[in-house]
Amino acid sequence: MMKRFFLFALLLTATCSIHAQKRQFRGAWIQAVNGQFQGMSRDLMQQTLVEQLNTLQQIGVNAIIFQVRPECDALYASQLEPWSRFLTGVQGRAPQPYWDPLAWMVDECHKRGMEIHAWINPYRAKTKGTIQLANTHISMMRPNSYFVYDNQYILNPALKENRDYICRVADDIVSRYDIDGFHIDDYFYPYPAPGQLIPDQQYYQTSRGGFATIGDWRRNNVNLFVKQLGETIHRRKPWVKFGVSPFGIYRNQSSDPKNGSATHGLQNYDDLYADVLLWVNNGWIDYCVPQVYWQIGHPAADYATLIKWWDKHASNRPLFIGEDVERTTKYPDPQNPASHQLPAKHRLHQQMHHVNGVVLWYAKAAVDNVGNYASVLRHSYWKYPALQPRMSFIDSKNPKKPRKLKAVWTSDGYVLFWKAPRGKKWDDKAVKYVVYRFNNGERINTDDPSKIFAITQRTFVNLPYDKGNVRYTYVVTALDRMSNESKAKKKKVKL
């Protein structure tokens, strides 16, 4: 019955381009900490990633958030931290044959028109399953830098040298790789474990700095780090977007009757010591992706309640919602038991004033088309391409339009060429182009995403020549690093 419903929904929504958004963040997390790449050969890992990226591109994904540092290690060439066991199987062992997964992913994402955001876990130094650490690991080099909690090593957020160290790692990544974003997840102080206390009371007593409670002191430690990290990233490259993906509940009403949500779960503010709203409202981060992984109707953390809460309280920076693909397709829509919850969640997104994107947890679940999730995105909700949302607080100036647009016959067929507009600084150079196609006599409307023919880094596109009897108007615009769009350059052709 559910399958029949989705065939109907697919046909219905595919005809409704009126709600299509031209600008929307459509991300997917590709994680390493689950071991999906551990011990893979280079060729097999590249083949796996190519298959994932191709499918995600077909679905409509326009940004990849790629995990490169699960436990103070590296899925990239680093002089600061050892190679990750989640890549080679042994921490500190370089891949053979040698390659750099992050550099490779930057190239692969960019040639597909996708952004790539490098994702690190800032504080976690050892996961529960890690047994052997490399001699060059920070916990071996600086044994006083971390504390042990629930069989994990956690870099102590109270130590300034740890904040400086993480920022040094971030600066190294940002300076050497052409990434579009830098991303941290929901692990700040560790998730509470029954019967265990965070062993930092002595630090609090000796460096409390006027804070009346240890909770306020811990939050300040994290606040100092988040502010410093954002400044570090933007000092190196102002265009690299700094994003945070916090746990889905900020505070419950029982803790904060004024600003809390009508939920009953673990809290960012009180349990992880992450004051996310402070970071959003102070502009310390560039985008926020709360992990609203629950279903509509969850008794303690209802999806509908939470998306409305975040839409109301976290609007000072671009807001995207972290979606759990498997959970969305596992539970039926309370209003329509014949369907799972993707259509209902999509309707909620359309009702929000500030939500302008989704990040899929996790990429492989979407690639595997769990519950027809990817098919519905591809053929309906994400049928047409989308540009990245603007971030005018970083840069609002549009680049100049492309130059010398012309159609030329080549050995590869009929090709539309243009030249890059002139630009000297990072904020006025073109890095990508949008090619639109309109029927003869049709009004030129570059706000209509259904008219997007291609989004490309190249300064040409191959034209689908048939018999040369039909006229079309092609329009090309330039995008800068912040996806500001230029005025249009037009060319009429017969195809």
Q: pLDDT of 396-418, one tens digit each?
A: 999 999 999 999 999 999 999 99
Q: What is the pLDDT of residue 16?
A: 43
Alpha-carbon distance 9 to 31, whole Å?
31
Q: What is the pLDDT of residues 51-109, one digit of tens each?
A: 999 999 999 999 999 999 999 999 999 999 999 999 999 999 999 999 999 999 999 99
User: What are the backbone angles phi and psi of residue 415, rounded to the nearest 5°?
Assistant: -130, 135
Superfamily of domain 25-380: Glycosidases (3.20.20.80)
What CA–CA distances, in Å, run from 68 to 48, 87, 175, 248, 421?
A: 16, 10, 15, 23, 34
What CA–CA distances, in Å, run from 239 to 81, 87, 288?
A: 25, 29, 16
Alpha-carbon distance 323 to 325, whole Å?
6
Alpha-carbon distance 282 to 316, whole Å?
8
What CA–CA distances, in Å, run from 315 to 234, 305, 309?
A: 21, 16, 10
> In the predicted model, is pLDDT for residue 242 greater than 50?
yes
Tokens found for residue 88: 């080679």
User: Which conformational region is residue 265 in: left (phi greater than 0), alpha (psi within -120 to 50 degrees), or beta?
Assistant: beta
Map out the domains of the chain as residue ranges.
25-380, 403-494
Residues forming beta bridges with residue 26, ordered by sequence position: 358
What is the share, in percent, of the chain residues with pLDDT greater than 90? 96
What CA–CA distances, in Å, run from 331 to 282, 327, 362, 444?
A: 37, 6, 17, 43
Tokens found for residue 350: 């359309």
Q: What is the mean pLDDT of residues 234-248?
A: 98
Q: What is the mean pLDDT of the chain?
A: 95
Q: What is the pLDDT of residues 316-354, one digit of tens each?
A: 999 999 999 999 999 999 999 999 999 999 999 999 999
Q: What is the pTM of this model?
A: 0.96
Length in residues, the chain: 495
> In the predicted model, is pLDDT for residue 207 greater than 80?
yes
Chain centroid offset of residue 194 CA: 32
| The domain defined by 403-494 carries CATH number 3.40.50.2300 | no
Q: What is the pLDDT of residue 15?
A: 40
Per the CB < 8 A criterion, the answer to whether 319 and 310 are in contact is: yes
